[in-house]
Amino acid sequence: MTRHQPSADVPELSAAGTALLERLERRTARAGVVGLGYVGLPLAVEFGRAGLRVTGIDVDQRKVDAIQAGQSYIPDVATADVQTLRESGQLDATSDFAVVRELDTINICVPTPLRKTKDPDMSFVVAAAERITQHLHPGMLVVLESTTYPGTTAELLRPMLETTGLRVGSDVFLAFSPERVDPANTTYNTRNTPKVVGGMTPACVRIATALYAHAVDTIVPVSSTQVAEMVKLLENTFRAVNIGLVNELALMCDRMGIDVWEVVDAARTKPFGFMPFYPGPGLGGHCIPIDPFYLSWKAKEAGFEARFIELAGHINGSMPHYVADKVADALNTHRKAVNGSSILVLGIAYKKNIDDIRESPALDVMHVLHARGARIVYADPHAPTLRAEDWPGRLDLTSVALNAAELARHDCIVILTDHREFDYDLVVEAGPLIVDTRNALGAHAGAHVFRLGAPSEGRMRTGREAAA
């Protein structure tokens, strides 16, 4: 279903566009997806399910080999689905971009991280576009899905494609459609999450819509690629700002002796005008911590200072230090210092029930505690190993088994990611001292539990004893 059209007029197509549209409508077009990660692989699978023959392209040979062997490495994609598509000939994978010559459409789903200077790193997009351009041919659709700043498709990709002499809008077609993947979401997936599509020309929108209509239930065309690019930044900046608000409220409640979790749960009973957000140890993942910086960077380029957005970023960025201070406060009640203490971290993924550690605030908390002299150990059933190069602590670590003996041998347990696999009753029973940053244990777990943004029974008891 298409939600709306930016114009009532049906765009006139060139001969190349007409031929491509016919192949898409007959499902004889060959689709390609560059980048077989959390975004690209689910998209490729949906295209395959819809009857298109799909080729995934990735420079990581391990991913290519897994797909060719019928194996999924993404929790949201079942291995059985990959096997079925491989057996039917609907899905294959390669690291050779020469296959672009045989494709009719190609979606770019590569990372767009930030540089250390907090400005956009477009190197993965540029590298993919350069390789595609080498094999670009008339009658081809290119769609960028990677999160980026407004203007990327028009200012970066279009000139690259047109160096071939092919014209966007008549010879080849170019669009932007922001990915909206939410890993581990059991309700919304690639197919039932509405797809925003913006094209360089009306013809580009029409052709991109025809592609996605096979794999996505609802298409939302917009008037330009810039609008589509801004849509994704708004969605995640909205979340980042509201998380910043509730994180600041958590700091405030901590000072005032109020339970922020109870406050939010009570406020969410209002059936209108309020959406609940919850505090935590910081922002994580491949979008929410990054997208506001893309927007802020582009705003500065236009001479506008995004003060509200940057303030939220400052608050969210300070949360790992607040959690480390919370750990120090908890250890003080046992007359211990962070320096020299053994701290067991529960969960290093950026959100519960997934294995993705990109931009995880847990790694920042671990780094702060490690820098203060703590010995860090972690348990995470989704992340069995942590390489030195993947976190600022620069140590190779291995997840430990969570049992009573392991819990008892550490000075403090810190819950940073509330995976469902953890036995929280065992944690409360065997852990000598616990800092809960996700409210995984609730308000009445005991005096040895310190919760983020809430008064601590243990700290209040120590204060009363000191006063006596």
Q: What is the pLDDT of residues 209-256, one digit of tens each?
A: 999 999 999 999 999 999 999 999 999 999 999 999 999 999 999 999
Provide the percentage of residues in the chain whose pLDDT is more than 70: 95
Q: Say yes or no to pLDDT of 464 above 50.
A: no
pLDDT at 468: 44
Give me 143's structure tokens. Answer: 């769609």
Q: Given pLDDT bands bounded at 50, 70 and 90, which one contains residue 117?
A: confident
Q: Which fold has domain 15-223?
A: Rossmann fold (3.40.50)
268 DSSP 8-state letter: T
pLDDT at 189: 92
Alpha carbons 84 and 30: distance in angstroms, whole number: 18
Enclosing H/E stretch for 79: helix 79-87
CA distances from 163 to 157, 211, 220, 365 (A): 10, 25, 30, 46
**Average pLDDT over all residues of the chain:** 93
Give me 321's structure tokens. Answer: 């230090």
Which residue in the block uniquely carries the two structure tokens 């046992």? 334
- What's the average model confidence in pLDDT over 384-393? 95
Q: Say yes or no to pLDDT of 463 above 50.
A: no
Question: What does the pLDDT look like over 136-162, one tens digit per residue?
Answer: 999 999 999 998 999 999 999 999 999
- Tell which phi-psi region holds residue 160, choosing left (phi > 0), alpha (psi between -120 and 50) or beta: alpha
Report CA torsion sign: 33, 35, 37, 39. Answer: negative
Q: Say yes or no to pLDDT of 300 above 90.
A: no
Q: Say yes or no to pLDDT of 118 above 70.
A: yes
Backbone angles phi and psi of 114, in degrees to 5: -100, 150
Which of 30-39, 114-123, 444-453 is least confident? 114-123
Q: Say yes or no to pLDDT of 21 above 50.
A: yes
pLDDT at 467: 44
Q: Given pLDDT bands bounded at 50, 70 and 90, which one contains residue 120?
A: confident
Alpha carbons 337 and 433: distance in angstroms, whole number: 13
Per DSSP (E only), the strands in 194-306 are: 195-199, 219-222
CATH of 233-308 among 3.90.1150.10, 1.10.1040.10, 3.90.920.10, 3.40.109.10: 1.10.1040.10
Q: Given pLDDT bands bounded at 50, 70 and 90, which one contains residue 461?
A: very low
Give me 255's structure tokens. Answer: 């000072």
Domain chopping of the chain, boundaries: 15-223, 233-308, 318-467
Q: Which fold has domain 318-467?
A: Rossmann fold (3.40.50)
Q: Say yes or no to pLDDT of 286 above 90.
A: no
Alpha carbons 356 and 386: distance in angstroms, whole number: 11
pLDDT at 465: 46
pTM: 0.89
Q: Say yes or no to pLDDT of 114 above 90.
A: no
Q: 318-467: same fold as 15-223? A: yes
Q: Given pLDDT bands bounded at 50, 70 and 90, which one contains residue 459?
A: low
Question: What does the pLDDT look like over 310-346, one tens digit per residue?
Answer: 899 999 999 999 999 999 999 999 999 999 999 999 9
Residue 281 near residue 319, CB atoms below 8 Å: yes
Catalytic residues: 287
Nearest to residue 441, comparing CAs of 319, 261, 289, 291? 261
Provide the percentage of residues in the chain whose pLDDT is more than 90: 84
- Helices 307-332 and 291-301: crossing angle in degrees, nearest 10, is 140
